[in-house]
């Protein structure tokens, strides 16, 4: 008996960076001090790989080039477990703060380093803090010219500092002067005329868990795949605490102790795979 499964496979994605490299800390942690903080990315990734293996889920890992250079064995462990290696750029600088030439150098260096370390082609990119907006979408042309085939950076909502207002919430092809690029926005939830970010990260930890799950159920009703995202440090409640204002503390540390339980439930409820397996990219 062959069972036909009609529910789409969603995309499980991970942004691999250290707990101290996040944009929320960019005013308290200088890039030149990165080597002074204790690294936790290896143990955090190991933990996440175990969780994914328990559910037999393969995922897409958007890895910082600078993390790959410092921790090549982490990249090899991810690739060795059957996951897709993709690029989170090199320096974790927001694209909104880079010139086109700086952005090109950043994504080129990350792609080359990751491909060299993993020994696999890298075709996907996600911007730090989803920072491709309508004002800097020249970045999409640069990605195409640098050999990327898909992007997962356009959040179809208007937010301070990011967001691609009015963008298509489902995966779609984007035609640009330089060619075309498959775009996979993080999942959002439509509520009347509102569209709420609900694809992962702080929303996954801080909002009632039903909101993220409702976003993926909404995708299934439309027959489309949704994109979920998480950072390895979001499963690490014991990470060192930084001296930051209360709203940054809430956003970064809130819900860390429940994210493992929530992740278990999500992986039980939905079927996930890596973006490279998407039918559109075959
Ligand atoms: Zn990031």
- Does 1 have pLDDT greater than 60? no
**How far away, in angstroms, is 219 Cα from ligand 1 center?**
24
Distance 57 CA to ligand 1 centre (A): 22
Distance 4 CA to ligand 1 centre (A): 37
208 close to 177: Cβ distance less than 8 angstroms: no
Going by C-alpha positions, the residue among 71, 139, 153 that lies closest to residue 108 is 139
Reported as a single tens digit per residue, the pLDDT across 155-172 is 999 877 779 988 999 999
- pLDDT at residue 161, rounded to an integer: 72
Ranges assigned E (strand) in 53-98? 60-63, 84-87
What is the Å distance from ligand 1's center to 92 Cα?
6
Task: For residue 64, report the distance from its CA to the centre of ligand 1, in Å.
Answer: 8
40 CA to centre of ligand 1 in angstroms: 15
Query: Could you read off the pLDDT of 173-218 as tens digits, one per residue?
Result: 999 999 999 999 999 999 888 899 999 999 999 999 999 999 999 9
pLDDT in tens, 77-111: 999 999 999 999 999 999 999 999 999 999 999 99
Whole-Å CA distances, 198 to 4, 47, 81, 219: 29, 23, 27, 12
pLDDT bin (cut points 50, 70, 90) of residue 2 is low
How many Å apart are CA 117 and CA 261, to the nearest integer? Answer: 32
pLDDT reported for residue 158: 83
DSSP letter string over 206-248? HS-HHHHHHHHHHHHHHT---EEEE-GGGG-TTSPPP---HHH
The tokens 């958007």 sit on which residue?
Answer: 62
pLDDT for the residue numbered 5: 53
Burial class (CB within 10 angstroms; exposed 0-12, middle 13-18, buried 19+) of 126: buried
96, with CB counted inside 10 A (0-12, 13-18, 19+), is middle
How far is ligand 1, taken at its centre, from the CA of residue 15, in Å?
Answer: 6
**What is the whole-number distance in angstroms between the Cα of residue 229 and the centre of ligand 1?**
10
Report the pLDDT value the prediction gives residue 144, as an integer from 0 to 100.
98
pLDDT of residue 165: 87
The percentage of the chain sitting over the pLDDT mark of 90, rounded to a whole number, equals 89
Sign of torsion over alpha carbons 39, 43, 47, 50:
positive
The pLDDT score that the predictor gives to residue 6 is 60
Give the chain's mean pLDDT. Answer: 94
pLDDT at 160: 75
Min mean pLDDT across 1-10, 21-30, 115-124 is at 1-10
Give the Å distance between the CA of 131 and the centre of ligand 1.
10
- pLDDT for residue 3: 56
Where is average pLDDT lowest: 52-61, 182-191, 242-251?
242-251
pLDDT surpassing 80 at residue 118: yes
> Which pLDDT value is given to residue 220?
94
* Alpha-carbon dihedral 14, 227, 12, 40, rounded to 10 degrees: 20
Q: 145 CA distance to ligand 1 centroid (A)? A: 22
Grouping H, G, I as helix, E, B as strand and the rest as coil, residue 125 is strand
């Amino acid at each position: 008996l062959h069972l036909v499964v009609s529910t789409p496979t969603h995309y499980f994605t991970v942004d691999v960076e250290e707990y101290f490299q996040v944009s929320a800390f960019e005013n308290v942690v200088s890039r030149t001090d990165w080597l002074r903080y204790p690294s936790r990315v290896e143990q955090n990734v190991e933990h996440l790989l175990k969780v994914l293996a328990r559910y037999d889920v393969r995922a897409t890992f958007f890895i910082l080039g600078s993390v790959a250079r410092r921790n090549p064995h982490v990249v090899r462990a991810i690739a060795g477990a059957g996951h897709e290696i993709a690029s989170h750029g090199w320096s974790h600088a927001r694209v909104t703060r880079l010139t086109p030439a700086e952005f090109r150098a950043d994504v080129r260096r990350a792609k080359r380093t990751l491909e060299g370390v993993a020994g696999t082609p890298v075709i996907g990119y996600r911007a730090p803090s989803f920072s491709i907006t309508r004002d800097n979408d020249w970045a999409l042309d640069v990605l195409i010219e640098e050999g990327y085939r898909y992007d997962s950076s356009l959040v179809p909502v208007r937010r301070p500092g990011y967001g691609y207002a009015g963008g298509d919430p489902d995966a779609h092809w984007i035609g640009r002067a330089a060619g075309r690029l498959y775009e996979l926005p993080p999942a959002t939830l439509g509520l009347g005329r509102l569209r709420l970010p609900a694809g992962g990260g702080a929303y996954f930890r801080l909002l009632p868990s039903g909101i993220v799950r409702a976003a993926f159920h909404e995708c299934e009703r439309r027959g489309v795949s949704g994109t979920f995202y998480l950072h390895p440090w979001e499963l690490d409640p014991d990470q060192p605490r930084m001296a930051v204002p209360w709203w940054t503390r809430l956003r970064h540390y809130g819900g860390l102790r429940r994210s493992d339980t929530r992740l278990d439930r999500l992986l039980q409820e939905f079927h996930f795979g890596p973006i490279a397996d998407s039918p559109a990219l075959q």
